[in-house]
Structure 1
Amino acid sequence: MSFFIKNKKRKQDGKIETNKGKKRGLRKFGGETAVVKKRRSKFDDEEIVSDSDLENGEEVDVKQTEYSSEEEDLETPQEKKLRLAKQYLAQIETEESEKWDKEEESHKDVISQRLKHDLLEQTGRLQKEVADNYVQPSDEDILILRGHHLAITCLVISHDDRFIFTGSKDCSIIKWDMKEKKRVHTIHGGRKGTENKHIGHTAHVLCLAVSCDGQYLVSGDRNKLIHLWDANTCQYLHTFRGHRDAVSGLAFRKGTHQLFSASHDRTVKIWNVDEKAYIETLYGHQDCVTGIDSLTRDRAITSGGRDGSVRIWKVVEESQLVFHGHVGSVDCVALINESNFLSGADDNSIAVWSVLKKKPLVLVRNAHGESENPSLEENWISAVASLQHTDLIASGSKDGFIKLWKTGSNFKSLKPVMKIPVNGFVNCLQFSKDGSFLVAGVGQEHRLGRWWKLKDAKNSLVIIQLKQKPQV
């Protein structure tokens, strides 16, 4: 049977037989075919509106909405690209006009630089050299905030750098205001056995993540649960279930509400937060997954603990890249850009990697193991962070310091920049988006266990203001 069906077919006797209005694939609605009605609807909407209709503004808005939605349906792919490009340019112009003078030439230059910046960032080729611009923080630049009763295990900064969320072994989550430098909300933890009654966590909170638009906050705990919260009001929204062991890492894909979760059950799961739905599970790690991170691409990077590997999960390609280089357990990982990342292990080493090579570009051993502490192997690298798309990274341990490092050309070297005194286990680190401050979650114990307890340390949130050298 031919794919194309003719409207008229010729009989052998030469007469023409019509289908009498019955066309395949078309339904009649009130005597008109769907095609005719669709064509007429465009012109039906273009009627003259009377004064009485104008007074009823709601009806006019509805018609305009229907007309605009139909226009979008009828537009070609090229027209859609042009429309989205204009919207994007208008958005950039609005954002940048708040920062710069509205002079015509300078304004165009700013927009051009912003477009170039966004393109390089999305392709993973954006790289700024800023590490040499910072100066050693003074005691006045270090602010310590206390609110948790037990060790802080995780933290996350909102995309606008306005709020900080911290999680703790006391099962609570605290929201901090960076402008006021104070606590603004607490999600209290509950006792073991009250899971069905208490709204919140009843086990150690091990990980946090916040969406780029500041709408959602997610938290994972040792009870295998992922709680979803309204990031603005801290109201409970939903619970994701599916992991078979403690949830140890959470990360939103940048610019989306797609959530990656890592667990001690050796799996990575993907969730759709808008639909509150599970998508799929990724398998590959041979031990507890201890950390996770994600940027713009539909990928996630994870550290595999005792299996000694770091893995990049390519979701669309349904494949994974495996990297080996550390001797001990790989406990933390962070993306520098789409092509490079760093990791820390309990063998006191820090590594910088490229997605194109399975071995580290540079590996620094005894990174936190100066002669001040004879037990070098005890200085596990418990946290790493990067000021994304720059040459500045940070690492933390239990040796009493947070270290800042500079990555060299093509990430083939790693040089210490400065040491910032912080007493206790540095369980989590994160830079602000603009690089103006560094935040650390500090505790008396390691975030995943109680191998040591530093009694002279304080369970606290440490905010370190990062100042740059004056420009000449």
Structure 2
Amino acid sequence: MSSFFTTPASQKKREREDGLIAQSSQKKKKVANGAANSKSLNRKTARDESVSGSGSEDDETPQIAHDDEPLSSESESEDETGAERRLRLAEQYLENIKGETETVGFDAEEIDRDLIAERLIEDAAATKGRLYRHIASGLDFSSAVKTFFRADTQTTTSVAVCPPYAYTVSKDITLIKWELPTPTKPPPQIKKKKKATAKPPPPARRRPIKLLYTRGNKNETRNPKYQHHTADILTVAASSDGKYVATGGADKRLIIWSAADFKPLRIFPQHRDAVTSLAFRRGTNQLYSSSKDRTIKTWSLDELGYMETLFGHQDEVVDIAALSLEQCVSVGARDRTARLWKVVEESQLVFRGGGTSEKRQMNPRGSLTNGEMATVRTSYAEGSIDRVAMIDEETFVTGSDNGSISLWSLHKKKPVFTVPVAHGLDPALKPEEASAEEVPDPKVPGAPQPRWITALATVPYSDLILSGSWDGRLRVWKISEDKKRLEVVGVLGGAQAEAERDGNVNGLETRDGEPPEEDRETSVRGIINDIEIFERGDRGKDSLCVVIATGKEHRLGRWKTLQGKNGACIFEVPHKQAGEPAMMEVKGADMDSSQNQSKT
């Protein structure tokens, strides 16, 4: 058997020569074929020229160039390069666009708003998880339209929104799905004719429509196969795709419902105590749950399965918040810490509170010799951090039982800024109310106490913050441009209260617990237990919608009872008109200046 190494050299040489001869013959055939094709092409062009030139010059008709046809010549395409050709086509395209805009016309402001560069900058900031929108100054909170609707027979503990639907839960084990009304723009004004034959259009619907309703049963506590809650439902959350609704209750259950028909898809009994708060990771079906068992658990609703448990808090975890990144922020009540959990890295950042909230009060009886008024400084220790809301991936706010709202950054372990006694003070109890004695000691009631921050909400990646308590006002705050301060914007749903007019700088209510007479029409009666915010239109161009849950009792207990209403309320916040002045700040609520003065 022969191979390359055993073949004689003479035979190898003959094989190489034969291969070279075959290649040369193929090249000759190609050249000959090319020459023949060129000759036939020359004959064809000559024949065409003879046919076209056979007519007389009088019969020639000039060719008309239409605007729709592209102007291209063989002479230009022969000499120009590819880059020059692209440049010429781009210039021609811009000229065509310029001609169209000159004939049709355009709005320069609208084009400036929709510039691609601006959109790219905003999208890049959103993907990085940073605050990039400043919308608080452009909203008219004093003109917000309020619509109250009764949701349940007992205290509404939480509300969740997935436009155009809202979900409310209450202490009577009720879950309700509502369809929110869509505000209609007022029609253009038309001059009325003398004889109006057409009927006026019906008024726009303002109240939500109840779509679905389900209620649990407290008598089924010992039935493990019962597919519902058996105790108070404390929290609710809705996925962004509108498929799932999650509820958690005092019965230690986390239930995943189908949003379409309220069919229970899965019941998770892993928590060892009441489920206090739920939060979806933005744009996904990953769910975070917090509980009184001091743990946080993560769930994947795509697989309807449990993922992992996060440990670290030393007391009940009462609230949790999350945005786009795979991380969440929680607050641990009386351990006075806020913790940011990095789920992927399996680590946590601890932010410690527990400071005091200072308040300066004018003392009308302590007038000085020079006519000035003496000031009395009161401090309220922070006993529990109850609420948290994320602004962006690096900034969040918390609310405490001493009435303070704190701004936090990932780069500092202490608050960046604190607003003390943000919702004012409750008046001191009367001696007969605080004691069972027939003749009680006048010193028994003590000093007035601050109102807790019972609800917090933000518009993600913006400077807008809303807070609630039981003072009857939903207060609006904004973050300064340097992200180092919280500034007062006003009160949602009406003008500022007139309580400060009588020297009541702390916003104290009257003795009977009712808000002042001047503010009763615009106040929210009861305890604000939860707040949800969403924007209408493309990037919030139409309006801002705020949905709140109110009740006579606090969502986690019955130690505070007010003469309020159990239900929910909607506020439609329009944008300010061009040239309208900014809203007046609320007197008595801007405590940061006094705080800074006391520090200096």
TM norm structure 1:
0.73
Asked whether the 8 Å contact 1:253–1:298 carries over to 2, the reply is yes
Letter paired with 1:286: Q
Deviation at 1:191, TM superposition (A): 2.2
- 1:295 matched to 2:299? The reply is no
In the alignment, structure 1 residue 315 sits paired with structure 2 residue 343: yes
Residue number in structure 1 paired with 2:168:
166
Q: 3-state SS of the aligned residue for 1:132?
A: helix
Provide closer, same or farther for how the CA distance between residues 215 and 112 of structure 1 changes in structure 2, counting only shifts above 3 A.
Answer: farther
Q: Which residue of 2 aligns with 1:459?
A: 566
Deviation by residue 1:141-198 (Cα, 9 ceiling, x = unmatched): 110000211111111111xx21111111111111111126221111212223355465
Asked if the contact 1:174/1:185 (under 8 Å) is kept, the reply is yes
Which residue in the other structure is 2:150 paired with? 146
Task: State how 1:69-468 maps to structure 2 within 5 Å.
Answer: 109=114, 112-138=117-143, 141-158=145-162, 161-179=163-181, 181-194=208-221, 195-196=223-224, 198-326=226-354, 327-370=382-425, 376-420=448-492, 421-433=523-535, 434=540, 436-454=544-562, 456-468=563-575
Count of aligned pairs between the two proteins: 369
Is 223-232 or 376-385 further displaced after alignment? Answer: 376-385
CA distance in 2, matches of 1:279, 1:302: 18
> Secondary structure of 1:117's partner?
helix
Partners of 2:575 and 2:149 in 1: how far apart? Answer: 24
Larger mean CA deviation between 191-200 and 258-267 belongs to 191-200
User: What is the letter of the counterpart of residue 573 of structure 2?
Assistant: L
Taking only the aligned residue pairs, the percentage that are identical comes to 39
Alpha-carbon spacing, 1:108–1:142, altered in 2? closer, same or farther (3 Å): closer
Q: Over residues 375-431 of structure 1, what are the superposed CA-to-partner deviations in whole Å (9 max), with x where a residue is unaligned?
A: 653511111111221111011111121111121122211122112421111100121
Q: Give yes or no for contact 1:137–1:464 (8 Å, CA) kept in 2.
A: no
With 180-189 and 201-210 compared, the bigger mean Cα shift is at 180-189
> Are the structure 2 counterparts of residues 108 and 398 from structure 1 closer, same or farther at C-alpha, using a change threshold of 3 Å?
closer
Structure 2 CA distance for aligned equivalents of residues 166 and 235 of structure 1: 16
User: Bigger radius of gyration, 1 or 2?
Assistant: 2
1:443 is matched by which residue type in structure 2? G
1:411 partner SS: coil
Alpha-carbon distance in 1 for matches of 2:237, 2:426: 37
Where structure 1 has 5 or more consecutive residues not aligned to the other structure, the ranges are 1-13, 15-100
- 8 Å contact from structure 1 (residues 423, 457) kept in 2: yes
Q: Distance in 2 between matches of 1:291 and 1:189?
A: 24
Matched, 1:469 2:576: yes
Residues 8-63 of structure 1, C-alpha deviations (whole Å, 9 max, x = no match): xxxxxx9xxxxxxxxxxxxxxxxxxxxxxxxxxxxxxxxxxxxxxxxxxxxxxxxx
Task: Report if aligned partners of 2:385, 2:401 keep a CA contact under 8 Å in 1.
Answer: yes
Deviating more after overlay: 335-344 vs 183-192: 183-192
* Aligned residue identity for 2:217: G
Tell me if the contact between 1:162 and 1:177 (Cα under 8 Å) persists in the aligned partners.
yes
Q: What residue number does 1:22 align with?
A: none
| Deviation for aligned residue 1:373 | 7.0
| Secondary structure at 2:127 match in 1 | helix
Q: The residue matched to 1:367 in structure 2 has which SS?
A: coil
1:290-319 residue CA offsets vs partner (Å, 9 max, x unmatched): 000111111011011010000000011111
The change in CA–CA distance for 1:110 and 1:349 in structure 2 (over 3 A counts) is same
Q: Residues 190 and 198 of structure 1 are in contact (CA less than 8 Å); yes or no, is this contact kept in structure 2?
A: no
Cα distance change on mapping 1:157 and 1:141 into 2, 3 Å: same
CA distance in 1, matches of 2:155, 2:113: 49
Q: Deviation of residue 287 (structure 1)?
A: 0.2
Give, as a single letter, the amino acid of the residue that structure 2 aligns with 1:124: G
Distance in 1 separating the partners of 2:386 and 2:239: 24
Contact kept in structure 2, 1:206 and 1:248, CA below 8 Å: yes
Inter-partner Cα distance in structure 2 for 1:251 and 1:446: 20
Instruction: Provide Cα deviations, 1:313-347, integer angstroms capped at 9, x if missing partner.
Output: 00111110011124221111000111111010111
Letter in 2 for 1:188: R
- Cα offset, 1:261, TM superposition: 0.8
Q: Distance in 2 between matches of 1:449 and 1:117?
A: 42
Q: Residues 212, 142 of structure 1: CA spacing in aligned structure 2 closer, same or farther, 3 A cutoff?
A: same
Change (3 A) 1:360 1:315: same
Equivalent in the alignment of 2:9: none
Q: CA RMSD in A?
A: 2.5
Q: Which stretches in structure 2 are left out of the alignment for 5+ residues? A: 6-105, 182-204, 355-381, 430-446, 493-522, 580-600
Structure 2 vs 1, CA of residues 107 and 310 (structure 1 numbering), >3 Å: closer, same or farther?
A: same
Distance 2:330 2:141 in 1: 32
Q: Please show how residues 17-28 of structure 1 align to structure 2 within 5 Å.
A: none
